[in-house]
């Protein structure tokens, strides 16, 4: 998607005159190290020791705050989960500031805290809530592709924290910045770290092109057998995607009354089971609220929200998704911050967030997690058609000063889908480079 | 003493599903697509639907009626350009409009005999990207020049060229032995059998209505994959009623008795279709549910040149032979798929089976085959609405009928397809 403007602002001349240059982000490659440089782990929280021993087992060098060295750091993990008084927050500054100075390109700051919702002491709650303010501000200060994110633990077990730390350290989270993820109790891990979705059967709706095609591709790369779903009218592009990833193509309109049944029948009939569903299919029909007609309103609400509710009924019925399954929805920054001309779209995507909240609570005892990603400005054929000025603002108005790629959305979804991410449910994770919108 | 190998027992061949591209009227959306382009896209759509990327199949069998000489190995070239394992063998067949169904018979028979476990049968035709050849005069001149050993001999050979030889030879929809087009032949038969204009228009309107309804209820969601921006057969006129058809002028036949119009005859069409046929074991290993079983097939031919039978009457002869072999009556079917080359073809065939004289004198039957329940005829539309890319029609009908039988929870279906050269190919499916 290199237009003339992008070519000009990235030219040697532009660099010389000081036009800020976006950093080429480090993206995930199977088998590559989580990060190239050593990781500082500090903070004296309850997960610190466990994280150090786990990082050692996966071959990442760790350093503690007691070893004076000026080497580059790949990441800084600060475990403040034990802090109960605002005075303890100073540790973040004392340990973190010199460490952040040593952060390598595409480095990571990961802060681990305790979910304030699980606490009652007012000082403890405010201390833990304060971590979010630190991380969100630090994300805006970091440069050269570095990101800062916060993990809030709801319990004592380390597996969930570990899974989230792994995601944030890796290139999978390249475009996730300034975000908070809550993790619960779990002991689950990925049986095969290189192909974490091996043996899983995944359904991706809207898979013929754009972000959906990328999701299908990434899930297949991670080992899943993928059923690529799209409307019959997109069947030719869908066939190409399915053949590229060795999956199967299922032509069905998600708004059809029997769409859920057909998806379940195809997945279980052809592939024996149904483990992962990614509700990605969506449309926009923009119009200012006062001019919005019935077709635009109903169409967007039904495709983006109503169809998911209906399909879930079939997917979650007996003979549908296995226990321990994964449902991932694609929300949008427009569902959080709103967008001019998108009252219908904003409604549908905010509704998806509500769905994730409510359904995740209901499905906990089946071990099924329900999460959503909320993409910000992602470089697709659709965003390439946005008028120049609007597009350039959308692209730049975030801490990473660039648009994300479909693969960034796909990698986050693939993480939610992992067996090791069992502790992550009810989350809406923004993949937006810490966009200023809806921050 | 060496033991004699015992003949292998035949087993059932299953129709697992199909894929076709939407059929498009000639010189339209697919005007620049070659037969190989269309057949490859269709095969890849089938591969995607059934997750066959990289799989080696027993065989792919397909053909085209209008075929360029460079396409001598059309189906094998298609396989090499597809997502199938390149170790999948392929061959071409050609039996005019019977090509697609004949290809399926060949695949089903090999499956039944245990020679292959799975195969694809298909067909493709482009009336738009038609082969244009040089005239016979130019061809003979050029060959003679090629044989010449000296410059003088070559000059002499080339001197034999006449201006008229430079005109290209364009394929024509006529029977080589009569010089009559298929429509003209059909018009003669229709007049002989007294087939009315009204009956033909009614059948044509029903074809459009049935096809439109099938699309509306999603029947084709797993039978058709879009191609070059076309998502539905573009000959389909969902709102075309009998009144509109009645206004058209006859194009075949002469004078007062001319009844055949562009509305109740199939247009020249481009398209391709494929069908996946396998053994029960292969289907089960691949977690695929057989839609229907390929029971039996029969071909027949009539002497329309020196005899007095109509060009497209061969199915009328093939069906009673097939019924007799299987101990069935014409009424023992839940679905009838009679290819609508022309509305008059279907009506003539049905009338012939009801006619005691025809059944006695021509078919040698004591009793007529009788009439069928017309509500079971071409229930999801046929060639008048979908169009008729010659070799692709068999695959369209086969996959649609198999799905209809599966949807109905079981039953028996009869396929009848007429073909140029006075031939007919018919088959029985059961579910």
Confidence of residue B164 (pLDDT cuts 50, 70, 90): confident
B368 in a structural domain: yes
Backbone angles phi, psi at B272, to 5 degrees: -150, 155
Token pair belonging to B197: 């204009």
Confidence of residue B7 (pLDDT cuts 50, 70, 90): low
CB nearest to A251's CB, from B47, B54, B222: B222
The verdict on a CB contact (< 8 Å) between A232 and B221 is yes
Closest alpha carbon to B162 in B131, B189, B188, B135: B135
Residue of B nearest to A237 (CA): B226
What is the mean predicted confidence (pLDDT) over B41-65? 97
Residue A232, min C-alpha distance to chain B (Å): 6
Confidence of residue B312 (pLDDT cuts 50, 70, 90): very high
Residue A239, min C-alpha distance to chain B (Å): 5
Q: Is A135 within 8 Å of A113 (Cβ atoms)?
A: no
* Beta-bridge mates of residue A328: A278, A371
Closest alpha carbon to A73 in A41, A26, A27: A41
B305 in a structural domain: yes
Residue of A nearest to B228 (CA): A236
Q: What is the dihedral of CA A136, A140, A142, A144, to 10 degrees?
A: 130
Higher-confidence position of A330 and B69: A330
What is the mean predicted confidence (pLDDT) over B244-255? 88
The verdict on a CB contact (< 8 Å) between A236 and B53 is no
User: Is residue A78 helix, strand or coil?
Assistant: strand
How many CB pairs below 8 A link A and B? 67
The verdict on a CB contact (< 8 Å) between A239 and B288 is no
pLDDT at A352: 97
pLDDT at A2: 59
Token pair belonging to A58: 């996966």
Higher-confidence position of A19 and B230: B230
Q: What is the CA radius of gyration of chain B?
A: 23
CB nearest to B221's CB, from A242, A248, A251: A251
- In angstroms, the CA B182 to CA A159 distance is 75
pLDDT at residue B2 tops 80: no
Q: Which one of A54, A175, A345, A416 is the catalytic residue? A: A345
The verdict on a CB contact (< 8 Å) between B48 and A240 is yes
Interface ipTM: 0.86
Report the run of H or E that residue A261 belongs to, with start and end.
helix A259-271
Chain B contact set for A248 (CB, 8 A): 48-51
Q: Is B380 within 8 Å of B337 (Cβ atoms)?
A: no
The verdict on a CB contact (< 8 Å) between B51 and A252 is no
Higher-confidence position of B301 and B7: B301
Chain A contact set for B234 (CB, 8 A): none
B194 in a structural domain: yes
pLDDT at residue B127 tops 60: yes
pLDDT at B151: 87
The verdict on a CB contact (< 8 Å) between A232 and B53 is no
Q: Is B36 within 8 Å of B81 (Cβ atoms)?
A: yes
- Structural domains of chain B, count: 1
pLDDT at B141: 85
Asked whether the CA dihedral A240, B280, A224, A302 is positive or negative, the reply is positive
Q: Strand A103-114's sheet: what is its strand order?
A: A62-63, A39-42, A73-79, A103-114, A147-153, A180-183
Chain A contact set for B231 (CB, 8 A): 232-233, 235
B250 in a structural domain: no
**Cβ–Cβ contacts within 10 Å for residue A377, how many?**
23
Chain B interface test: which of A204, A213, A242, A268 (most B C-beta within 10 Å): A242
Domains along chain A with CATH numbers: 25-183 (3.40.50.720), 201-431 (3.40.50.720)
- B68 is an active site residue: no
Q: Is A329 within 8 Å of A352 (Cβ atoms)?
A: yes
Residue B53, min C-alpha distance to chain A (Å): 6
* Beta-bridge mates of residue B272: B124
Query: Whole domain around residue B304: which residue ranges?
Result: 182-217+295-430
Chain B contact set for A236 (CB, 8 A): 41, 45, 225-227
Token pair belonging to B34: 């070659």
* Beta-bridge mates of residue A122: none
pLDDT at residue B1 tops 60: no
CATH number reported for the structural domain that contains residue B192 in this entry = 3.40.47.10
- In angstroms, the CA A143 to CA B170 distance is 69
Query: Cα–Cα distances in Å, from B360 out to B114, B304, B332, B352?
Result: 39, 19, 21, 11
pLDDT at B9: 78
Q: If 0-12 CB within 10 Å is exposed, 13-18 middle and 19+ buried, where does residue A312 land?
A: buried
pLDDT at A439: 53
Q: Is A147 within 8 Å of A408 (Cβ atoms)?
A: no
Query: B217 and chain A: CB distance < 8 Å anywhere?
Result: no
B240 in a structural domain: no
Spans of chain A, pLDDT less than 50: 1
Residue B69, min C-alpha distance to chain A (Å): 29
- Chain center to CA of B128: 17
B200 in a structural domain: yes
- B359 is an active site residue: no
Chain B contact set for A269 (CB, 8 A): 287, 289
The count of C-alpha atoms lying within 13 angstroms of the C-alpha of B159, restricted to the half-sphere facing its C-beta, is 7
B229 in a structural domain: no
- In angstroms, the CA A260 to CA A316 distance is 10
Closest alpha carbon to A248 in B46, B280, B118: B46
Residue B218, min C-alpha distance to chain A (Å): 8
Query: B272 and chain A: CB distance < 8 Å anywhere?
Result: no
Query: Cα–Cα distances in Å, from B194 out to B344, B345, B348, B411?
Result: 10, 12, 9, 33
Closest alpha carbon to A369 in A407, A418, A411: A418
* pLDDT tens digits, B8-25: 678 999 999 999 999 999
Q: Is A92 within 8 Å of A55 (Cβ atoms)?
A: no
Chain B contact set for A234 (CB, 8 A): 226
- In angstroms, the CA A168 to CA A22 distance is 20
Residue B429, min C-alpha distance to chain A (Å): 23
The verdict on a CB contact (< 8 Å) between A243 and B48 is yes
B346 in a structural domain: yes
Report the run of H or E that residue A291 belongs to, with start and end.
none
User: Is residue A74 helix, strand or coil?
Assistant: strand
Query: B44 and chain A: CB distance < 8 Å anywhere?
Result: yes
The answer for B421, left when phi > 0, alpha when psi is -120 to 50, beta otherwise, is left
pLDDT at A218: 98
pLDDT at residue B131 tops 90: no
**Residues of chain A that touch chain B, judged by Cβ-Cβ distance less than 8 Å:** 228, 232-236, 238-240, 242-244, 246-253, 256, 269-272
pLDDT at residue B217 tops 80: yes
Quickly list DSSP for A178-236.
Answer: S-EEEE-------SSSSSTTTT-EEEEETTTSHHHHHHHHHHHHTT-EEEEEE-GGGHH
pLDDT at A43: 87
| Least confident piece of the model among A274-283, B184-193, B330-339 | B184-193
Residue of A nearest to B45 (CA): A239
* pLDDT tens digits, A393-406: 888 889 888 999 99
Q: What is the CA radius of gyration of chain A?
A: 22
CB nearest to A243's CB, from B53, B218, B289: B53
Q: Is A335 within 8 Å of A349 (Cβ atoms)?
A: yes
CB nearest to B48's CB, from A234, A249, A252: A249
pLDDT at B275: 98
Query: B50 and chain A: CB distance < 8 Å anywhere?
Result: yes
The verdict on a CB contact (< 8 Å) between A271 and B287 is yes
Residue B126, min C-alpha distance to chain A (Å): 19
Query: B294 and chain A: CB distance < 8 Å anywhere?
Result: no
């Amino acid at each position: 998607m290199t237009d003339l403007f992008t070519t000009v602002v990235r030219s040697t001349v532009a660099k010389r005159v000081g036009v800020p240059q976006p950093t080429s982000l480090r993206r995930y490659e199977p088998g590559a190290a989580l990060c190239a440089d050593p990781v500082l782990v500090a903070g004296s929280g309850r997960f610190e020791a466990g994280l150090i021993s786990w990082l050692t087992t996966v071959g990442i060098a760790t350093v503690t705050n007691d070893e004076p060295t000026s080497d580059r750091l790949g990441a800084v993990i600060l475990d403040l989960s034990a802090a109960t008084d605002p005075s303890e927050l100073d540790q973040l500054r004392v340990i973190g500031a010199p460490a952040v100075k040593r952060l390598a390109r595409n480095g990571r700051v990961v802060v681990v805290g305790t979910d304030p919702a699980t606490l009652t002491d007012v000082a403890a709650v405010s201390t833990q809530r304060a971590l979010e303010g630190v991380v969100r501000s630090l994300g805006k200060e970091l440069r050269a592709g570095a990101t800062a994110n916060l993990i809030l633990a709801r319990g004592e077990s380390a597996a969930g924290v570990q899974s989230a730390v792994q995601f944030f350290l890796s290139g999978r989270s390249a475009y996730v910045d300034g975000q908070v993820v809550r993790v619960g109790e779990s002991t689950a891990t990925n049986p095969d770290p290189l192909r974490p979705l091996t043996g899983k059967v995944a359904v991706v709706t809207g898979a013929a092109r754009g972000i959906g095609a990328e999701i299908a591709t990434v899930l297949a790369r991670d080992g899943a057998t993928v059923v690529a779903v799209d409307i019959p009218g997109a069947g030719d592009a869908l066939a190409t995607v399915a053949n590229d990833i060795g999956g199967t193509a299922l032509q069905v309109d998600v708004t059809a009354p029997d769409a859920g049944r057909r998806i379940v029948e195809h997945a279980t009939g052809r592939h024996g089971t149904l483990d992962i569903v990614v509700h990605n299919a969506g449309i926009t029909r923009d119009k200012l609220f006062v001019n919005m007609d019935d077709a635009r309103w109903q169409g967007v609400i039904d495709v983006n929200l109503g169809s998911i509710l209906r399909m879930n009924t079939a997917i979650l019925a007996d003979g549908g998704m296995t226990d321990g399954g994964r449902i991932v929805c694609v929300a949008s920054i427009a569902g959080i911050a709103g967008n001019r001309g998108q009252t219908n779209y904003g409604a549908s995507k905010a509704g998806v967030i509500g769905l994730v909240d409510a359904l995740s609570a209901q499905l906990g005892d089946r071990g099924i997690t329900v999460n959503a990603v909320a993409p910000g400005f992602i470089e697709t054929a659709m965003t390439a058609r946005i008028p120049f000025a609007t597009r350039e603002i959308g692209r730049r108005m975030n801490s990473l000063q660039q648009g994300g790629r479909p693969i960034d959305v796909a990698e986050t979804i693939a993480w939610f889908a992992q067996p090791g991410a069992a502790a992550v449910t009810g989350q809406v994770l923004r993949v937006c480079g810490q966009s200023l919108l809806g921050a | 003493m060496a033991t004699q190998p015992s003949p292998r027992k035949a087993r059932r061949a299953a129709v697992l599903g199909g894929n076709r591209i939407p059929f498009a009227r000639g010189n339209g959306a697919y005007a620049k697509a070659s037969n190989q382009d269309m057949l490859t896209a269709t095969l890849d759509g089938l591969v995607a639907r059934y997750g066959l990327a990289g799989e080696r199949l027993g065989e792919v069998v397909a053909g085209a009626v209008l075929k360029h000489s460079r396409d001598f190995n059309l189906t094998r070239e298609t396989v090499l350009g597809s997502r199938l394992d390149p170790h999948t063998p392929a061959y071409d067949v050609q039996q005019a409009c019977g090509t697609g169904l004949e290809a399926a018979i060949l695949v089903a028979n090999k499956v039944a005999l245990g020679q292959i476990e799975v195969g694809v049968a298909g067909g493709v035709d482009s009336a738009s990207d038609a082969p244009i050849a040089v005239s016979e005069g130019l061809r003979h001149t050029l060959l003679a020049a090629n044989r010449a050993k000296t410059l003088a001999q070559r000059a002499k050979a080339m001197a034999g060229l006449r201006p008229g030889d430079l005109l290209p030879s364009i394929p024509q929809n006529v029977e080589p032995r009569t010089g009559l087009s298929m429509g003209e032949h059909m018009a003669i038969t229709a007049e002989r059998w007294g087939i009315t204009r009204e009956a033909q228009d009614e059948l044509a309107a029903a074809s459009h209505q049935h096809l439109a309804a099938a699309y509306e209820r999603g029947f084709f969601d797993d039978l058709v994959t879009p191609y070059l921006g076309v998502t539905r057969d573009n000959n389909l006129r969902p709102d075309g009623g009998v009144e509109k058809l009645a206004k058209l002028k006859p194009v075949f036949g002469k004078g007062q008795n001319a009844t055949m119009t562009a509305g109740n005859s199939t247009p020249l069409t481009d398209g391709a279709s494929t069908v996946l046929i396998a053994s029960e074991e292969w289907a089960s290993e691949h977690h695929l549910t057989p839609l229907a079983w390929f029971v039996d097939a029969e071909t027949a031919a009539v002497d329309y040149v020196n005899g007095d039978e109509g060009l497209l009457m061969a199915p009328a002869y093939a069906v009673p032979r097939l019924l007799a072999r299987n101990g069935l009556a014409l009424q023992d079917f839940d679905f009838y798929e009679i290819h609508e080359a022309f509305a008059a073809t279907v009506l003539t065939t049905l009338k012939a089976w009801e006619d005691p004289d025809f059944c006695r004198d021509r078919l040698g039957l004591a009793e007529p085959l009788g009439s069928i329940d017309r509500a079971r005829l071409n229930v999801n539309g046929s060639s008048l609405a979908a169009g008729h890319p010659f070799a692709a029609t068999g695959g369209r009908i086969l996959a649609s009928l198999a799905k209809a039988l599966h949807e109905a929870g079981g039953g028996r279906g009869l396929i009848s397809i007429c073909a140029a050269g006075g031939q007919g190919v018919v088959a029985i499916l059961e579910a």
